[in-house]
Structures are given as structure tokens and as C-alpha cells.
Chains A and B, each alone.
Chain A
């Protein structure tokens, strides 16, 4: 609400500024033309020797250039301001989301610790509570990691733990781990295709990609998420196509979803939790692997297509 208002004010100020410039320009032209006419009429009579053409046209043209230039600069400043404003809004949302994501597991851990301190909890329950706390601790860890690693990624300080892997084997393993983590049962996913090529990749980085895609598939599905993954290789590229049966992504959002802090709002499934960092990280990781990521979605379901270069050992 507040954001919308300030955007409105900025646009209003911009329009007013432009109107002021234009009227100033109008007055300038009017002043010049009327003076010129008067000058031309009486000039000859008063002082026939006076040469006025060059001297008068020069300030006129300079004035015009100045006004047009100023108006152009205002537009530039306005554009820049708008971009800044949008980033600030996204950042505010991000802070809000992160606060929420941090506080939820924290309060749950606190609740279990206080429960264990204050009550005589039976051994069986104790174990259940400890499992719950572990889950929350994992959640906190991955959130904190994602924030810290993002800044490391941005500063290009990412640890290069890259190794050569056989593409389909490593991807299949990591996918299965991710599906287990997000409780996607074996009956709800399939991994097809063969990719006997090799890739140079960071195992942890790849894991982050699949965790994020699986997490999104679960969060943006109204019923149990169903996922199909197709792996393939050609001479140059290793291709992963990750398809879910979620609510889909509007065409106009396809580019934006990879932006930092950007989050989709869909009225069919409101209040989805997240930080707006997931797909941004995915994109950055794919890029670090010299690959490409794209999205396709028509109505229901979404396919993410990841392409990575095939590794060729120069000795072979």
C-alpha cells in the first residue's frame, strides 16, 4: 500500500516536472518569436546598421538545447529513482519474509525446549520432539546458508569444489535426495532418459538447484506434487528438463522469477512462504557452471530446462 502510494507520488512529480519544463520551453519560444518580430519591425528604423541574426539565434538554440537536455536528465533521474524504489520495495518484502522464516523454526525449537524443561515428557514423545527440533534446525541452517552463500556468490568467492561427474548418475542421486527431503513419494516422481556424458560441476551447488526446484513444486501445487525429470545429452550439452504439475507461471512472470527477491503472488494459492532467493540462486549457480536456464509454462504445470556444457578432457 505504502509502496503504491510513493510510486504514484513519484509519477505525479515527474509529470509535473515535465509540464513545467514544457511550459518554460513554450514561454521561451513565445518570448523569442515575439521579440524577434518586434525587433525586426522597429530594428531597421532605429538602427539600420544593426546585425542581429547570428547573435540572437545562438542564445535561442543554446536555450533550446539546455531545456531539452534538462528534460532528458529529469527523465533519466526519474527512471533511476523508479528502479531504486522497486529494489527497496523488494528488499523490504525480503526482510519481512526472512524474519518470518527465521522466527517460525526458532519459536518451535524454543517451545520444545521449554516443554522438555517444564513437563515430564514420556521417552517416546521426547524422541519425537527432538526430531522436530532437528527439522527446524535444518531449516534454519539452510536459510542462513542461502543468505550467506548468496553474498559469497555475488562476490565471486564461491568455493570451487568442482569435479567431473557422469551427468545422469550424479543428477539422479541428488534428485532422489531432494525428493526425499521434501517428502515427494516414489509414486509421485519419475526420472527418465540417459545422459552418459560427463559434466564439471559442484555437487553441493547442484543439490541447491534440485532442492529449490523440488521445494517450489511442492509449495506451488494445490494437491500432491507430481514431478517428471528428463535427462539427455548431445555432443555439447547436458540437458535437464524438470516438470511439475503445479499452478503454473504466467508468461509475463517468466523473466522476473529469476530476479533477486522476486516472488509470485497467485490468488489461487496465496501466502506461499519463501524469501525470493531460490530461483535467483538457481540461475546464478547454473551460470557459474556456464549453463543456461529457461522456463516454460502453459496453464498448469511448469518445466524448467537447464543446459550445461559437456566436459571434455583435453587429453582424450
Chain B
């Protein structure tokens, strides 16, 4: 089922033993190599000493919470896909998780199949992204220059780092330059999520991208909103 991603290394950060044992079993059965961290401190230790392809991260963790772990991981490795898994359902927590660098968010209780699909999707997107960024690693518009390989981007001399998901969104918009891209389309292609429930997520990412690339984020010139339709990338 996993195909090319067999053997991918997953760091599972979960303090609930019963849940962690079940997840470890399922992920191992899918062919992934799983390392289980019981708390935030262990998670950071493992992350610093070993290589992983993906992190599944709980939020309520002993010692260092999931938000902080995500921030530390992002700082050290902007390309690491992070799937947050948590019992918190308030949208504020969700926004916080995505802002701190999570790429995806799954609330407990979840369906096994959905989790496995998301993990696979994230790994696939990671490799798709690697593939396309090798073809055209640098793209410039206005005063911005984005390097899709190392996720750095320069705008007017300043250098910032994008998260993998941010890079994927802007890459998708650039590839569809001059066309209106709907939220639904972005969710289906970049997130591979059910568009009925998650449109707010797209808006959060667009707001972040505007902050990076627009001279005046409140009056966007590159990433325009088309009322009732979606977003439009243009270099006019």
C-alpha cells in the first residue's frame, strides 16, 4: 500500500501509552520505521540525534508541549512534515498549530484509515515537492526570490524561511499563474483534504504568504482574492 515510501522513518510523539502502542503497530505494519517518543523532551532529543521523514505530534505533552516541539523542529528543519494529532478541537488551537509550523492537523478520535492516508499523502507531497523543486529551484517575482530547494526566500534583501506547506501553496499558485485557484482546489491538491470542512486553513496560509511577499499585505498585488471564487497569482 505504501509503495515507494516503505522504510520511511516516522517519529511518533505521544504520551498516551495505549494509543502509541496501537499507532506504532499500524505504522510498522504499513512498512514505516517508527520511533516512539513519550514526551516533548524525548521528541526533541530524538529529532536532534536521528533523521526522520515525518513527525506525528501530540499537543498535550509532558515537559515540552507539541506547539513548542513543532517550533523547534521548524527552526532546525523547515522541510520536515509535521502531522499534529490532538484531542483539542477548538479552532483557535488548530490555527495555533498551523501557525507554529504543523502541516496537517487530525483531531482525536480519528479513523485509522484517514491517519494512514494523510501520512502517505504527506510523504508523497514531500517527494513530489522535492522532484518539482529540482526542476525549477528558483522563482522570482517583484522583489521576491524564492528558492524552492532550501525553502529560503529573499524579499528586498531580507531572507526568510518558508514551511514546506507554505512553499507548496505558493508553488501551486505560481504554476497556475493568471488562473483563479479556488480554496477547494488548493485543499484537494495541496492538502488532499475534504474541502467542506477546512477552508479556513487555506486562508491562514494565504495570509502568511501575503505577509512574506506583498509590499502591503492589506492591499495585495501578487496574491489577489477573487470574491466568491478563490485566489489569483499575478505579476502585474
Contact = CB atoms under 8 A, between A and B. Distances in A.
A273 B19 CA distance: 15
A115 B108 contact: no
Interface stretch (A17-25, A153-161, A264-272): A264-272
Contacts of B62: 269-272
Contact of B22 (A96, A99, A108, A272): A108
A111 B22 contact: yes
B18 A108 contact: yes
Interface string B1-42: 000000000000000101101110110010000000000100
A103 B61 CA distance: 15
A269 B63 contact: yes
A136 interface: yes
B73 to A, nearest CB: 18
Nearest to B115: A111
Contact of B16 (A108, A114, A133, A272): A108
Interface of B: 16, 18-19, 21-23, 25-26, 29, 40, 60-65, 87-89, 108-113
Contacts of A114: 111-113
Contacts of A136: 18
A133 B87 CA distance: 18
B63 A115 contact: no
B60 A111 contact: no
Contacts of A273: 60
18 contacts: A96-B88, A99-B87, A99-B89, A100-B87, A103-B109, A104-B87, A105-B18, A107-B109, A110-B111, A111-B109, A112-B22, A114-B111, A270-B62, A270-B63, A270-B64, A270-B65, A271-B62, A273-B60
Interface in A269-311: 269-273
B57 to A, nearest CB: 13
A242 interface: no
Contacts of A272: 62
A105 B22 CA distance: 12
**A107, A112, A125, most chain B CB atoms within 10 A:** A107
A96 B92 CA distance: 13
B108 A107 contact: yes
Given A99-B87, A271-B63, A273-B60, A104 B19 contact: yes
A3 B144 CA distance: 41
B38 to A, nearest CB: 12
Contacts of B88: 96, 100
A262 interface: no
A133 B17 CA distance: 11
Contacts of B65: 270-271
Interface string A85-127: 0000000000010011001111110111011001100000100
A97 B64 CA distance: 18
Contact of A110 (B21, B26, B109): B109
A129 to B, nearest CB: 7
Contacts of A119: 26, 29
Given A110-B109, A271-B40, 20 more contacts: A100-B60, A104-B87, A107-B19, A107-B108, A110-B110, A111-B23, A111-B26, A114-B112, A115-B22, A118-B113, A128-B21, A129-B22, A132-B18, A132-B21, A132-B22, A136-B18, A270-B62, A270-B65, A272-B62, A273-B60
Contacts of A254: none
A181 interface: no
Contacts of B113: 114, 118
B18 A135 contact: yes
A110 B109 CA distance: 7
A96 B88 CA distance: 8
Nearest to B62: A271
Contacts of B40: 271
A125 B25 contact: yes
A119 B65 CA distance: 33
B16 A104 contact: yes
A104 B23 CA distance: 13
Given A100-B88, A269-B62, A271-B61, A106 B109 contact: yes
Contacts of A104: 16, 19, 87, 108
B193 to A, nearest CB: 19
A185 to B, nearest CB: 17
